[in-house]
Amino acid sequence: MTDSAAATTLREPAHQVSPRAVPYWRLGAAIGALVLVALAVAAYVVLPMVLDDDRPWWATLLLVVLVLVQVAYVAVMPSIRFRVHRWEVTGTAIHTRSGWINRETRIAPLSRVQTVDSQQGALMRFFKLSTLVVTTASAAGPLTIVGLDQEEAKRVVADLVAITGAGEGDAT
């Protein structure tokens, strides 16, 4: 690697989301999985009665595979997502990395920040977490950090507002 290539190598963002994001993501995934499995079981039970037909062998196999995939998803996804999701705010930019299968890295100069929002659903409030949404003058959409500690999210919002408010221009 040349010196110029080493100088331009992008490092990963410095901060992880809150460890409480793991049980939050796990519970959210479990709720979704339960709904999906309940619908599949209902179809598995009801369709043979409605169609007045025997249940094919592959329907049982399909239901078992669906349940196993959902159990694996609930067990594995939150931990992987926690290791991947990172964020950082510097004096010049906000940098995020997210995803657990497809990874996305986004960097936005603070001069392009238009709005900074903090969001909390009921489940997030239970886990004392927040989602930070930073809208920029970009067609790629906002930068989102899911799973921040709610107090840290308040601090980051205040810091971003102070930094971007001190800059010149209108972020367009």
- Of residues 148 and 168, which shows the higher confidence score? 148
Counting Cβ atoms within 10 Å, is residue 73 exposed (0-12), middle (13-18) or buried (19+)?
A: middle
Supply the pLDDT for residue 167.
61
Stretch 51-74: mean pLDDT: 91
Upper half-sphere CA count for residue 167 (Cβ side, 13 Å) = 18
Supply the pLDDT for residue 53.
78
pLDDT band with cut points at 50, 70 and 90 for residue 170: low
Residue 75 has pLDDT above 60, yes or no: yes
Counting Cβ atoms within 10 Å, is residue 12 exposed (0-12), middle (13-18) or buried (19+)?
A: exposed
Q: How do the residues of the chain divide into helix, strand and coil, expressed in percent and rounded to 5?
A: 50, 25, 25
Among 12, 29, 21, 10, which residue's Cα sits nearest to residue 153?
Answer: 21
Q: What is the DSSP string of 100-112?
A: SSS-EEEEEEGGG
Stretch 49-59: mean pLDDT: 82
Record the tokens describing residue 28, joined without a space: 């959210």
Q: Which residues contact 152 (CB under 8 A, 6 or more apart)?
A: 18
Stretch 57-76: mean pLDDT: 95
pLDDT band with cut points at 50, 70 and 90 for residue 5: very low
CATH no., domain 86-166: 2.30.29.30
Supply the pLDDT for residue 50.
79
Supply the pLDDT for residue 1.
47
Stretch 15-27: mean pLDDT: 96
Residue 44 has pLDDT above 80, yes or no: yes
